[in-house]
Chains A and B, each alone.
Chain A
Amino acid sequence: MGDYLLMMVTAIFANNVLLIRFLGLCPFVGVSSNLSSSFGMSGAALFVCVLASAITWNVYHFLLVPLQLEYLRTVSFILVIASLVQLVEIVMQKTAPALYRALGIYLPLITTNCMIFGVAVLNIQEEHSFLDTVIYAFAAALGFCLALIILGGIRERFALGRVPTMMQGFPAALITAGIMALCFYGFIGLGQ
């Protein structure tokens, strides 16, 4: 139990997928301009990430390894993730049309979100067991949500202040993210 707690804390803070490992930056700067879309994106990413990691782990260990097709890892994982995202998109369109409209372009972009794919590959590379995989995916996605929501909150405040023209938009968001990364970097001793 203690091991899992440690793994979660490390994955959320010390090895934050977004700020320390740089996975999933496109939605990070893209949808984080206000809090509500940050929340929507986080929810979608959390759901897809856990599901995708669980499925790809099974695909790898029960399909690719017995058939000695490990080199097809990249192709098969990306296909699994792409169809999963399509599924989430259809379900969301029916059940939460407002959220669907708010997320717009970024929902299909979860397919090319490095975070989902990266966590799936990391789970294979680190030789996690199935339970480890699910917990790690959950914790990593939680770290992603945390960073995304914090940045969303900060950027909402930007609207009130005067930002120099050349710094507007992406540059300011990136520098804010840098300062946040500096804070998260302080957690790095936590896991040891």
Chain B
Amino acid sequence: MSTFFQEFSKGLWKEVPPFRFVLGLCPVLAVTASVSSALGLGCGVIFVLLVANTLVSTFRDFIPNKIRVPVFIVIIASAVTIVELTMEAYFYTLYEVLGIWIPLIVVNCLILGRSEAFARKNPVHLAIADGLGMGLGFTISLCLLASIREIFGAGTWFGLQVMPSAYLGFELLQRPPGAFICLGLLLALMNLVSARLEKPQETC
């Protein structure tokens, strides 16, 4: 049980994507102009990651090593198709907003990276923990970035006004250049924080 929790929690801080592993950056920048779309994509990624990790780990002894990548990709693509059809049927507005980014979950390096680096070498329950943790970490990071961009960029959060109505909004943050700069600063901040956290341990 402790290893289960360990694998789960490493996705939340120690190896949190996309900050520690700079993988799967594209959607991170593209959908974070508003928190609701970030959360929607995050849920899609959690589902795909969970399905892919579970299946890859279940069949890890049967997948020939040479063609493992195509097999992983087909598994991932099937999961993405499920997400795509489900969103189109039940969450149409979200489907419209996310647009091309839903099929693009399939080429998110994070998911293939987890299959390749973790799920194919570990038993099913650990793979599930890893998928959940990584997915959750990814979603939280997305929402964090989206919150910063939406609150300071538009003065709203989940579409609700949070800043005083006189607040004009820092328009740049809502635009593509703002996404790069904001993520760059967040990464720098994270490096600073983890450098501070590690220092006392060295002296002990």
Contacts and interface: CB of A to CB of B under 8 A. Distances in A.
Interface of A: 19-26, 29-30, 71-75, 78-79, 82-83, 108-109, 111-114, 116-118, 121-122, 125, 165-167, 170-175, 177-179, 181-182, 185
Contacts of A170: 22, 184, 187
Contacts of A181: 176-177, 180
B26 A109 contact: no
Given A170-B22, A181-B177, A114 B29 contact: no
20 contacts: A23-B26, A23-B104, A24-B26, A79-B70, A79-B73, A109-B109, A112-B109, A113-B107, A116-B107, A122-B100, A171-B188, A171-B191, A172-B184, A174-B184, A175-B181, A177-B180, A181-B177, A182-B172, A182-B177, A185-B177
A167 B185 CA distance: 8
Given A23-B26, A165-B195, A174 B106 contact: no
A191 to B, nearest CB: 15
The 5 A-B residue pairs with the shortest CB-CB distance, nearest first, are A178-B180, A174-B184, A178-B181, A175-B184, A181-B177
A113 B104 CA distance: 10
Nearest to B195: A166
B94 interface: no
Interface in B146-203: 172, 175-181, 183-185, 187-189, 191-192, 195
B97 interface: no
A13 B25 CA distance: 21
B44 to A, nearest CB: 13
Contacts, number: 128
Contacts of B176: 19-20, 22, 181, 185
A160 to B, nearest CB: 20
B77 A75 contact: yes
B195 A78 contact: no
Given A79-B74, A111-B69, A112-B108, A25 B29 contact: yes
A122 B106 CA distance: 15
Contacts of B100: 118, 121-122, 125
Contact of B175 (A30, A71, A185): A185
A164 B197 CA distance: 18
A89 B177 CA distance: 33
Nearest to A72: B81
A159 to B, nearest CB: 18
Contact of B177 (A30, A83, A173, A179): A179
A74 B195 CA distance: 41
A151 to B, nearest CB: 11
Contacts of B184: 170-175, 177-178
A85 B109 CA distance: 16
Contact of B80 (A21, A25, A74, A166): A74
A71 B81 contact: yes
A74 B101 CA distance: 12
Given A72-B81, A78-B73, 10 more contacts: A22-B26, A83-B70, A112-B112, A114-B104, A117-B103, A117-B107, A166-B189, A167-B191, A173-B184, A182-B177
A73 B78 CA distance: 10
Interface string B60-83: 000000000110011001101100
